[in-house]
Amino acid sequence: MRKAKSPSRSPLVLSRYDELVRYGEAFAGGHLNLLILTGGPGLGKSRLIKSLVDQDACWIDGHTTAFGMYVRLYRHRGRPLVIDDVDDLHNNREAVRLLKSLCQTDREKTVSWNSGTRQLDKLGVPHQFQTTGTTAIIANDWERLNLDVEALEDRGHVVHFAPSALEVHLQAAQWFTDQEVFDFIGARSSYFEQPSFRNYVTAAELKRAGLDWKQATLARCLNGKRLVVAQLKADVGFASEEERAQAFVAFGHGCRATYFNIAKKLPAVVDPPPLILKMPAAMVEQATEPTPDLFAILKRRHGQLGNG
């Protein structure tokens, strides 16, 4: 496989959902021959494109082979093709070459398959066909590994979606319904290096199950002693930072000074824009067990906690 001689060109970076919608609408309207859309997981890229394209579109997700793609392309010829969550696609030489033919800038493209012809005959699929369909590739990661991938990119538009945590938070307000979870994550959005809708969904699942969703949510973005400090700071059972520092020492994570040093370096808990979620009328918020008073438990187990 020929290796690319030049580094990947910089993609167009979008940071807002309204910008992403415009590109999705342009593809759905048949104006973009090829759209390569990348971005972190859990940002709603696939959901947005799926909501815009015709229901008759050919949607390929997960693992696929070049041969299987060719067969599906024939059976959906003339319709938009969306390849979703196939992050190793650029490593598949046959698939990339197939897409090069499919994504030619001519309105009508000729696509062919020259091996495994007997199997094609059994399936009633010709060795060559014409199509006018457009193509979108959605991936968390995309690399220019060789000249074939470079040539594929050159046929279309490479867009990278990188919204801020606040942008993801504001977008989540359009569909999320748990106000407490929403406000908790929004106030700690700076903790998450990679914002994701899945942070909201998993926290709500844990809350409905009566589990400690706050501690688990923090564990998705922090680890080690930083996680311990953040969990202690999120526990409203403590009356002061001094009590949290004493609990930190009692758990054997270090001395009092270590707690305050880590606490100082943690991103600040912020006040996100006040947003009242639209709660469905039929939804009744289920009560959950309050978080146990950790400081009281420590006192019962260890007696009066020291100062470290």
Radius of gyration (Cα) for the chain, nearest Å? 26
The burial of 158, by beta-carbon neighbours within 10 Å (0-12 exposed, 13-18 middle, 19 or more buried), is given as buried
- Consecutive H or E run containing 82: strand 81-84
For the chain, what's the residue count? 308
Taking alpha carbons only, the member of 226, 244, 245 closest to residue 235 is 244
Q: How far is CA 129 from the centre of its chain?
A: 36
Contact between residue 44 and residue 197 where contact means Cβ atoms under 8 Å apart: yes
Q: Say if residues 1 and 148 touch (Cβ distance below 8 Å).
A: yes
Please state, in angstroms and rounded to a whole number, the distance separating the CA atoms of residues 47 and 44: 5
**Low-confidence residues in the chain, pLDDT < 50:** 1-7, 281-308
Torsion sign across C-alpha atoms 292, 293, 296, 297: positive
pTM, two decimals, is 0.80
CA dihedral 226, 229, 233, 234 (to 10 degrees): 60
Rounded to 5 degrees, what angle do the CA atoms 57, 63, 66 make? 75
| Tokens 């968390």, residue located | 140
- How would you classify the pairing of strands 128-131 and 109-112? antiparallel
Structure token pair of residue 119: 């199997």
Q: How far is CA 10 from CA 5, 144, 307, in A?
A: 15, 11, 53
Least Cα distance to 79 among 60, 101, 54, 98 occurs for 54
List domains and CATH numbers for the chain: 12-161 (3.40.50.300), 165-302 (no CATH)
Measured between alpha carbons, how far is 197 from 227 in angstroms, rounded to an integer? 21
Instruction: Report the pLDDT value the prediction gives residue 159, as an integer from 0 to 100.
Output: 95
- Contacting residues for 205 by C-beta, under 8 A, at least 6 apart: none
Each residue of 127-155: pLDDT tens digit?
999 999 899 999 887 776 556 678 888 88
